[in-house]
């Protein structure tokens, strides 16, 4: 691992980012939604469930999405081969791209929180939750990014991630009864856990999200090993 090479990839991807309309568009969707939601505010602040809707969209589209697209582009345009043949390792390439993804994610989130005046996120427990949740989505993005061969294909993977993990809290609004199996399952998913944490203030929510993150990390690791083996 060499920090100079990670930074070289980071710098390159950041420059490409600003010239890539597909990617540049993703933070804007979130920010526009944040503006719309902020208009619906009635005086005592937006409820956590709405704030987490924005978090879910940001993490799915910016975190998982950008990570996938950055990798898919390198694969599709055959630039990945040039990187691999250079002294840069897979880990360095992934780290450089993760840094770009992290930067874009947190800029988007902070802008959205400011627009929505989400003071309920200024809370150490929520911030830790958000960080752990970031890695969950990042690992999903890396896992897909390692094998997806074209930018077009990323949507196929991004949509389920968006609906299952990004919009989990919204499922409640689909009219399921509170003791239906769907709600019981979704309650244990990362975003509903963090929404509930706002009331219970129980740290177990972060524990559950951490388990999800470890599982996503393992999935990314399996994909990583497979890609490395395929190359040999």
Partner 1 sequence: MSNCIEITALQKTFGTKTAIADISLQIKEGEIFGLLGPSGAGKTTMIKMLTGELNKTAGDIRVLGSTPDKFHQTSFKSQIGLLSDNSVLYERLTVYDNLKLFAKLYNAPLNRIDEMLEMIDMLDAKKKVVSKLSKGMKQRILLAKALIHRPKLIFLDEPTSALDPGNVAQIHRVLQKLNEAGSTIFINTHNMEEATTLCDRVAFLHEGEIKECDTPENLRYQYSSHMFYVETFDGEIIQLPNESESADKIASLIKTGTVKAIQTDNPTLGDIFIKITGKELV
**Identified binder of partner 1 from the candidate list 40, 78, 175, 179, rule CB under 8 A:** 78
**Identified binder of partner 1 from the candidate list 40, 85, 122, 174, rule CB under 8 A:** 85
Instruction: List the x/- string, 4-43, binding to partner 1 by CB under 8 A.
Output: xx-xxx-xx--xx--xx-----------------------
**Identified binder of partner 1 from the candidate list 122, 124, 174, 232, rule CB under 8 A:** 232
CB-nearer residue toward partner 1: 13 or 115: 13
Exposed / middle / buried, residue 60 (Cβ in 10 Å: 0-12, 13-18, 19+): buried
User: Is 1 near partner 1 (CB under 8 A)?
Assistant: no
Selection from 115, 108, 126 nearest residue 45 by Cα: 115
**Identified binder of partner 1 from the candidate list 77, 149, 184, 226, rule CB under 8 A:** 77
- What distance separates the 2 farthest-apart alpha carbons in the chain? 60
Give the list of residues 6+ apart from residue 158 with CB closer than 8 angstroms, or none: 60, 61, 64, 65, 68, 144
CB-nearer residue toward partner 1: 90 or 176: 90
Q: b/e string for 143-180 if b means 16 or more Cβ within 10 A? A: bbbbbbeebebbeebbeebbeebbbbbbbbeeeeeeee
Residues that bind partner 1 (CB under 8 A): 2, 4-5, 7-9, 11-12, 15-16, 19-20, 77-79, 81-83, 85-88, 232
């Amino acid at each position: 691992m060499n920090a100079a090479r990670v930074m070289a990839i980071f710098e390159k991807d950041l420059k490409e980012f600003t010239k890539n309309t597909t990617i540049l568009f993703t933070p804007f969707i979130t920010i526009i939604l944040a503006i719309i939601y902020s208009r619906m505010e009635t005086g005592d602040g937006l409820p956590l469930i709405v704030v987490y809707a924005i978090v879910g969209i940001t993490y799915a589209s910016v975190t998982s999405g950008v990570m996938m697209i950055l990798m898919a582009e390198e694969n599709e345009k055959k630039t990945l081969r040039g990187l691999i043949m250079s002294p840069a390792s897979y880990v360095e390439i992934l780290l450089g791209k993760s840094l770009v993804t992290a930067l874009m994610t947190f800029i988007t989130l902070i802008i959205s929180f400011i627009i929505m005046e989400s003071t309920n996120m200024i809370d150490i427990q929520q911030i830790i939750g958000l960080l752990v949740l970031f890695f969950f989505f990042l690992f999903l993005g890396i896992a897909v990014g390692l094998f997806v061969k074209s930018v077009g294909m990323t949507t196929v993977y991004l949509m389920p991630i968006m609906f299952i993990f990004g919009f989990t809290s919204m499922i409640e609004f689909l009219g399921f009864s509170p003791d239906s199996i769907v709600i019981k399952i979704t309650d244990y998913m990362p975003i509903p856990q963090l929404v509930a944490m706002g009331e219970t203030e129980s740290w177990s929510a972060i524990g559950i999200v951490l388990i999800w993150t470890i599982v996503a990390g393992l999935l990314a690791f399996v994909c990583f090993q497979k890609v490395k083996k395929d190359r040999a």
